[in-house]
């Protein structure tokens, strides 16, 4: 449902009284109750869909991409990677384009904590 917080009107996580609800994400950049106005618009006109992945899938995608491509993705970008890992097997014959928009050096310390003893 649309709401207004931090000076913009867009889709907003809020309760039945308009109180903003706490967001939770493994990725600091996604830990926000609102959605950028451009994405809100693209969603509202049916131009884009916004599926979700869970934190465990993101952790796994972060590792897969680092190992297989030698590219450490930002945790934000590990989200689409996780979606691709999940969905690509069902998309034979189609082309998937992914925008890897941020690097994950910044997330390495957090990942070391999360993967403590598992690397």
- Quote the least distance from Cβ 61 to another protein, whole Å: 31
Q: How far is CA 89 from CA 78, 93, 107, 112, in A?
A: 18, 10, 28, 29
- Quote the least distance from Cβ 12 to another protein, whole Å: 7
- Quote the least distance from Cβ 44 to another protein, whole Å: 16
Ramachandran bin of 70, using left for φ above 0, alpha for ψ from -120 to 50, beta for the remaining angles: left
Residues interacting with another protein, by CB under 8 A?
2-7, 9, 12, 14, 17-21
Considering the complex, state which of residue 13 and residue 100 has its C-beta at the smaller distance from another protein: 13
Q: Is 84 exposed, middle or buried (0-12, 13-18, 19+ CB in 10 A)?
A: middle
Considering the complex, state which of residue 12 and residue 74 has its C-beta at the smaller distance from another protein: 12
Considering the complex, state which of residue 17 and residue 47 has its C-beta at the smaller distance from another protein: 17
């Amino acid at each position: 449902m649309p709401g207004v917080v931090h000076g913009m009107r867009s889709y907003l996580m809020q309760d039945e009284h308009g109180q903003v609800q706490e967001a939770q994400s493994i990725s600091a950049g996604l830990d926000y109750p609102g959605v950028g106005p451009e994405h809100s618009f693209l969603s509202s006109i049916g131009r884009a869909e916004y599926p979700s992945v869970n934190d465990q899938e993101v952790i796994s995608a972060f590792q897969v991409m680092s190992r297989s491509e030698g590219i450490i993705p930002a945790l934000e970008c590990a989200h689409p990677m996780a979606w691709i890992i999940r969905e690509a097997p069902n998309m034979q014959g189609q082309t998937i384009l992914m925008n890897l928009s941020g690097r994950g050096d910044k997330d390495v310390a957090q990942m070391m904590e999360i993967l403590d003893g598992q690397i």
